[in-house]
Amino acid sequence: MDWIESGGGPLLVAPASQLAHWTGATDDDAVETTGDYGRACSVEGEIGLVTVGSLDGLVLSGPATTTFLPDERLFVRWEAADSEAGLLTAAKRLVHDAPWDETLTWQVDGPVVLIDSAWPGSAPEPGNHLTIDLAPARYQVRAAFVQDERTWTVLVQLQL
């Protein structure tokens, strides 16, 4: 699995067609308060939307290392787990009874890219971005914190 990390802030899932419009954090920005990175940091809760070019990007709040399971259309955020295998097994099981407490609607025009929101979209951090092949659609996005005896994770699922 490819896991994407942040330098301490939120992650961004942006339409690939609009990614170059994302400036991330710049030297002129007061970190976490202005610019594109500041807009991502201002999202309250686990998920939110910010404008990226002519579409919206999906913000995954907090610095949790994250991957995407395409068959489940599921972002898995590593909060606490003994192993990758244990986390993924738990996520696939826990998704069925997750207490979805946040939802939003997100329109995409095709593939999206998961990046550290502090990086500019025109030059994502080498080795730390993930292209996700999504069909153009309007997705219902839902998020939940779930846990079992050995795993804590935030799940973010895209539904058609």
pLDDT tens digits for range 50-66: 999 999 999 999 899 99
- Residue 137: is it exposed, middle or buried by C-beta count within 10 angstroms (0-12/13-18/19+)? middle
Q: Are 55 and 15 in contact (CB under 8 A)?
A: yes
Mean pLDDT (the chain, rounded): 94
pLDDT digits (tens, 9 = 90+) for 32-56: 556 899 999 999 999 999 999 999 9
Q: What is the mean pLDDT of residues 5-22?
A: 96
Residue 40 CB neighbours (<10 A): 27
10 vs 30 pLDDT, higher one: 10
pLDDT at 35: 85
Residue 132, helix vs strand vs coil: strand
Q: What is the mean pLDDT of residues 95-113?
A: 97
- The phi and psi torsions of 132 (rounded to 5 degrees) equal -120, 125
